[in-house]
Amino acid sequence: MLRPAPLDPTLIGQTLPWDLYTESGVLVAGAGRIIASEADFQRLSARPLYLRDDGAASDDTPLHRLEAEAARAETMLYAPTLPQAHALYSLVDALLALARDDGEACFGYLRLVPVTRAALRHCLEVLFLAHAVARHLEFTERETFALAGAALTMHLADMEAHDQALRAEPVATALARAGLAEHPLRAAAALRALGVDDTPWLDAVQQHHESMDGSGLPAGLAGADIGLAARILHVADSYCLRIASSHYRPATRQPLQETFGVELPRLDTQIATVLLRIWGTRPPGSLLRLRNGEIAAVARGVAGGHPRFVVSFIDARQRPLEPPRERDTHLRTFTPRADMQPDPNWTGVNWKRMWGY
């Protein structure tokens, strides 16, 4: 199994402690190689590299930390007395550290494992997705912090009502029926009352349901009058809702139109295009039935939604594969035949192993 290699400049002048591989498993640098200079380091780190994991258990992997931070977030955001600003800032910092370490694994794991309640789980998915877009757009640290804070707290004043709405189909109708149309205003007001004074954060929360065509709420803003962070949140929010639907099928000929459906005119299509370029229409956590009958998970996002390498975790006789096996979908035996939804009858699956943890 492969997981992202923690490359940083402190390795310059040192020997590599591990073998490094491409995403497809090709060895590019062996353990013991000396990183002789900064230029050498830059050449090595110019593309994502991975190391092989022997499967040893650890309580300090990103996915173990995600479970702990999700529990902390649930305690804070569903409490009768909401936390003060400094506690929220600490939580956002911890979640951003996870996004930097392995945001793809965190996003995929959230899709497959009910680590927390529905509304918070959705906010966390939006946070990891928005972080990936912000990194692509070269946001500053402060801009990224505000965006992540807004993703985490955009439902702050109505978390339990959103839990109920997210279990309904269609979600938009359920939100309206629950009286949540103006929840961005209530969430922003709650944040101000807690002492959050980060204007970009507050603006993004208040505007995250504004639409490019002016049909959104609460102010009916349109186009460039909507802040960039809010436009990212709207796209990420819509994307996460669509891929969570049992009726969702990955786009083929027209990815934008087929992925976002009737919501597309309300979204910033440039941001939507960036999102699909990063993770495609089958993002981490997507499930596939292969030609040989195995069931596999997409571990890493692939532009276009057609990942070459997936991780099989159920064999053709519907028994858990332990350890999971990486499969090359370009081979006829492992060609994807159908998209799947998680099945509660799958027992004994160690979902962390999909990402080598």
Q: Is the pLDDT of residue 263 over 80?
A: yes
For the segment 53-99, what is each residue's pLDDT rounded down to a tens digit? 665 456 788 999 999 999 999 999 999 898 899 999 999 999 999 99
pLDDT reported for residue 17: 86
Provide the 10 A C-beta neighbour count for residue 198. Answer: 18
Q: Is the pLDDT of residue 304 over 90?
A: no
Q: Is the pLDDT of residue 178 over 60?
A: no
Are residues 357 and 61 in contact, defined by beta-carbon separation less than 8 angstroms? yes
pLDDT reported for residue 56: 47
- Which tokens belong to 104? 């793809």
Q: What is the CATH number of domain 62-279?
A: 1.10.3210.10
pLDDT reported for residue 308: 85
The stretch 313-323 carries a mean pLDDT of: 90
The one-letter code for the residue type at 204 is A
The one-letter code for the residue type at 22 is T
pLDDT reported for residue 353: 85
Region of 340 please: left (phi>0), alpha (psi -120 to 50) or beta. Answer: beta
3 state DSSP class of 203: helix
* For the ranges 50-54, 225-229, 311-315, 328-332, the one whose mean pLDDT is highest: 225-229
**Which contacts qualify for 338-345: CB closer than 8 Å, 24 or more apart?**
338/288, 338/289, 339/249, 339/250, 339/282, 339/286, 339/287, 339/288, 339/289, 340/287, 340/288, 340/289, 340/295, 341/246, 341/287, 342/112, 342/287
Query: At a CB cut-off of 8 Å and minimum separation 6, what does 325 contact?
Result: 311, 312
Are residues 292 and 315 in contact, defined by beta-carbon separation less than 8 angstroms? no
Tell me the C-alpha distance between 119 and 155, whole Å: 8
Q: Give exposure, 206-231, as e/b (b: 16+ Cβ within 10 Å).
A: bbbbbbbeeebbbeebeeeebbbbbb
Domain ranges of the chain: 2-52, 62-279, 287-355
Are residues 288 and 339 in contact, defined by beta-carbon separation less than 8 angstroms? yes
Query: At a CB cut-off of 8 Å and minimum separation 6, what does 253 contact?
Result: none
Tell me the C-alpha distance between 191 and 88, whole Å: 10
Average pLDDT, the chain: 90
The one-letter code for the residue type at 109 is Y
The stretch 174-194 carries a mean pLDDT of: 82
Give the confidence band of 231 by pLDDT, cuts at 50, 70, 90. very high
- Give the end-to-end CA distance of the chain in Å, rounded to a whole number: 8
The stretch 324-349 carries a mean pLDDT of: 90
pLDDT reported for residue 312: 93
More confident residue, 220 or 181: 220
Largest CA distance in the chain: 62
The stretch 129-138 carries a mean pLDDT of: 97
More confident residue, 164 or 293: 293
Q: Is the pLDDT of residue 338 over 60?
A: yes
pLDDT reported for residue 216: 92
Percent of the chain with pLDDT over 90: 61
**Alpha helices (H) in the chain, listed in sequence order:** 38-44, 62-77, 85-112, 118-136, 141-153, 159-165, 171-177, 183-194, 199-207, 228-244, 255-260, 269-279
Report pTM.
0.85
- Look at 25-29, 264-268, 290-294 and tell me which has the smallest mean pLDDT: 25-29
The stretch 262-288 carries a mean pLDDT of: 95
For the segment 38-55, what is each residue's pLDDT rounded down to a tens digit? 898 888 888 778 887 665
Are residues 250 and 301 in contact, defined by beta-carbon separation less than 8 angstroms? no
Give the confidence band of 148 by pLDDT, cuts at 50, 70, 90. very high
Q: Is the pLDDT of residue 3 over 80?
A: no
